[in-house]
């Protein structure tokens, strides 16, 4: 993949989704060829779907950081085989830390390896990987922005997961005093690594399914630019989900309560920011 922001002829024809007014403040890309993206993939017993996901990323010449979150032996063997490629890096947890813990380890490793941005991709095959080029092109055009996917679901999404998202949306709007975060639960997004790793160093974020929500709220509090692009999400019939309804919903509820009190302390600043724009 090219490290410049020039779009290939096929990509130039792709329409870019309009940026909502609340997220339109994005800086211009610098002239230097410094844009060095990679993909970060948290993996926990996804040996069936991971090879296909990784093949799509490698087809884009995108280096990958796999984070094995203490997978079972047969899954670990598949991960080891895939990590033999020179542009595939492996981080392995001795004990399961959850999706958020795996993503955080992957982001730190990507920064250590010298990458500027990381595309977070789930290993279970939910994400539409034909959008990789579009997301990376937009990240290159707006290098300080978090490029976030907001999902377009098909009929495969479990109804309980769909309805539960609306409650989280409401809490996110309350905790940011804004509707700027269009979807906080879609894990297909590009992080600018300097700002994101700095946040991980100064804050203790959730390490399971609460991470995807909390990191966006805290980046919003830090006035990090965000760009939103639609992306299709499909739940495969034989997909492996590690969402634990009782435990993870409890963790997410505690996270919303924690963020609510954080919002109260920041409310004057958040309100002043809205009037300043």
The pLDDT score that the predictor gives to residue 219 is: 98
The encoded tokens of residue 150 equal 């907001």
Instruction: Specify the CATH class of 28-162+181-241 in words.
Output: alpha beta
The pLDDT score that the predictor gives to residue 34 is: 87
Instruction: Check: CB of residue 89 under 8 Å from CB of residue 66.
Output: yes
The backbone torsions φ and ψ at residue 40, rounded to the nearest 5 degrees and listed phi first, read -115, 125
Pick from 274, 270, 104, 86: nearest CA to 193: 104
pLDDT in tens, 80-113: 999 999 999 999 999 999 999 999 999 999 999 9
- Extents of the domains making up the chain: 28-162+181-241
pLDDT over 70 at 22, yes or no: no
Pick from 250, 238, 210, 248: nearest CA to 45: 238
pLDDT over 90 at 208, yes or no: no
């Amino acid at each position: 993949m090219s490290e410049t922001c020039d779009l290939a002829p096929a990509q130039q024809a792709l329409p870019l989704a309009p940026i909502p007014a609340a997220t339109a403040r994005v800086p211009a890309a610098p002239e230097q060829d410094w844009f060095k993206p990679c993909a970060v993939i948290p993996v926990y017993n996804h040996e069936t779907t991971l090879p296909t996901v990784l093949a799509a990323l490698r087809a884009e010449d995108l280096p990958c950081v796999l984070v094995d979150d203490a997978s079972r032996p047969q899954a670990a063997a598949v991960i080891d085989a895939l990590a033999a490629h020179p542009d595939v890096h492996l981080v392995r947890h001795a004990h399961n830390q959850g999706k958020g813990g795996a993503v955080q380890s992957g982001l730190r490793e990507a920064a250590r390896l010298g990458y500027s941005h990381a595309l977070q991709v789930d290993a279970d095959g939910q994400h539409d990987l034909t959008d990789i080029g579009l997301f990376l092109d937009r990240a290159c055009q707006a290098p300080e922005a978090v490029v976030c996917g907001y999902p377009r679901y098909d009929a495969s999404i479990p109804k309980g997961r769909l309805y539960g998202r609306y409650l989280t949306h409401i809490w996110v709007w309350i905790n940011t005093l804004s509707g700027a975060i269009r979807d906080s639960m879609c894990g297909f997004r590009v992080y600018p690594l300097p700002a994101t790793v700095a946040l991980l160093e100064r804050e203790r974020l959730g390490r399971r399914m609460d991470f995807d929500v909390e990191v966006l709220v805290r980046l919003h509090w830090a006035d990090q630019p965000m760009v939103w692009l639609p992306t299709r999400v499909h739940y495969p019939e034989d997909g492996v989900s590690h969402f634990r309804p009782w435990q993870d919903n409890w963790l997410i509820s505690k996270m919303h309560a924690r963020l609510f009190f954080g919002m109260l302390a920041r409310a004057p600043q958040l309100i002043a920011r809205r009037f300043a724009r």
